[in-house]
Amino acid sequence: MKRETLDVKRDNARSVCVAILLLVAVVCLLGRPALAQSQHGNQTKKTLSPPQDVRAFDTPSDGGGSVTVIWAPAAYDSAATKYQILLSEGLTTDSATMKVVAEFPANQHYVRESKWPWWTRPARGDQHQFTLRNGRGATLTNGTVYSIAVAAVLTDDRGISQPLLVTPQPNWVNWNQINNLVLALLFGGIVFYAISRARTREIFLRRIPGLDAVDEAIGRATELGKPILYLTGAHDMSDPSTIAAAVILGRVAKRTAAYETQLLVPHRDPMTMAVCQEITKQAYLEAGKPDLYKDDSNFFITSDQFSYTAAVDGIMLRKKPAANFFMGAYFAEALLLTETGASTGAIQIAGTDSDHQLPFFVTTCDYTLIGEELYAASAYLSREPVQVGTLLGQDIGKGLILCILAAGTVLAMLGVLLDAQWPQLFLDVFKDVK
């Protein structure tokens, strides 16, 4: 019995040893191919290929201090891969001595994303482009030779292109903005055409009630034997609204000279006063009554805003003019002036491009020239062919601009919906590229 028990134990031990030997053999058989495969993988690992078709050149149509690099897209372009721009001054062939001045993901910086219009783009839209400017990670001096290269980086792997020589230089012409020159010539031609048309035929101008009331206001002042008060606004002669106010003053002065009505023009700016004196004198001369002109019809009060307002309000209360003209740019004094004028019972005609004061003028004045009507007033009153033609040319130009805006909006929407690039061909023509 004991002998049988020993035999069973011996058989069990032998089975366990065999099982252990089989397990070790399986592990060895499975482990050797894995190790061989790992070693084979290490032996066949390929380095990252450097960027291809790299070109470096001075950035065109700029003031210098900038270079541009372009290279072909690669199969490894992704957010995981990085591109580096390497730069060094002078000629070098060793990329290890070059400084990394820019780094970005490999799926960014394409030619199609640049602001250059289609007529100046140096490559296809799917190629990479990077413009290195002075002061943005690098110092670039015009006329200095630099070596520049592009490197592709993925973890510890790195592929570097051959360094290229490039020299930043300023350019005489900004070809990116040649479309602006063409558009300026186009609109200039439209204006000249409109002027020639105005010289040969009568041009219809929309009726402006505020300007139609000018003769009425001057006639009422003449009948009542009271003066006319004319203000040119708060700005100096460098402002377009003041220039428009001075032009309208010439028309008003000519009518007051014809009717022999007193004209009062208080000023806040000495230069504006000098210009208006000459305009008024010329108007009296054209009316055939130069003897009626008085130098003190244009007079300077003060440059201070509310001191000037108080002085003009005093003139209104003392002189009680029959007609008040408020032309030009105005600020907080607008309501103080027009309320005082309304209290004296005068006819009040205002014209301004200051949109923040328009509600007060509309409320307190009998007639108001809104915005561009102030600039159209001279052409409307004089009917002079050059001024009328210019006004017509401007209207044609604005009509074209509205059509272009509508067409551009539709094309931009189609470009987004269809993921197409062809609408950009039209949009670039009207783009202002710096």
Distance, in Å, from the CA atom of 145 to the CA atom of 421, rounded to the nearest integer, reads 36
| 216 and 365 belong to one structural domain | yes
Picking from 328, 348, 373, the residue at the C-terminal end of a domain is: 373
Contact 270, 276 (CB under 8 A): no
Residue whose token pair is 């009554």 = 289
Between 18 and 201, residue with greater pLDDT: 201
Distance, in Å, from the CA atom of 294 to the CA atom of 284, rounded to the nearest integer, reads 10
| 75 and 179 belong to one structural domain | no
| 84 and 144 belong to one structural domain | yes
Tell me the two tokens of residue 250.
Answer: 């010439």
| 231 and 95 belong to one structural domain | no
| 161 and 275 belong to one structural domain | no
Task: Give how many domains the chain has, as a whole number.
Answer: 3
Contacts of 78 by beta carbon, 8 Å cutoff, 6+ apart? 105, 106, 107
| 256 and 342 belong to one structural domain | yes
pLDDT at residue 121 tops 50? yes
DSSP 370-386: ETTHHHHHHHHHH--HH
Contacts of 135 by beta carbon, 8 Å cutoff, 6+ apart? 65
Note the pLDDT tens digit of each residue in 210-233.
888 888 899 999 999 999 999 999
Across 383-399, average pLDDT: 89
Work out the pLDDT band at 38, boundaries 50, 70, 90: very low
Contact 353, 325 (CB under 8 A): no
In Å, what is the CA distance from 113 to each residue of 101, 118, 374, 424?
A: 21, 11, 43, 11
Q: What percent of the chain is predicted at pLDDT more than 70?
A: 89
Half-sphere CA count of 362, side-chain side, radius 13 A: 9
pLDDT at 287: 92
- Domain span at residue 305 reads 209-373
Candidates 213, 220, 188, 227; CA nearest to 368 is: 213
Is 28 within a domain? Answer: no
Is 349 within a domain? Answer: yes
Is 183 within a domain? Answer: yes
Note the pLDDT tens digit of each residue in 357-367.
999 999 999 99
Threshold 0.85, pTM exceeds:
no
| 217 and 156 belong to one structural domain | no
CATH of the domain at 116: 2.60.40.10
Across 405-417, average pLDDT: 92
Contacts of 277 by beta carbon, 8 Å cutoff, 6+ apart? 295, 298
Distance, in Å, from the CA atom of 8 to the CA atom of 2, rounded to the nearest integer, reads 10
Work out the pLDDT band at 125, boundaries 50, 70, 90: confident
Distance of CA 283 to the CA centre of its chain: 41
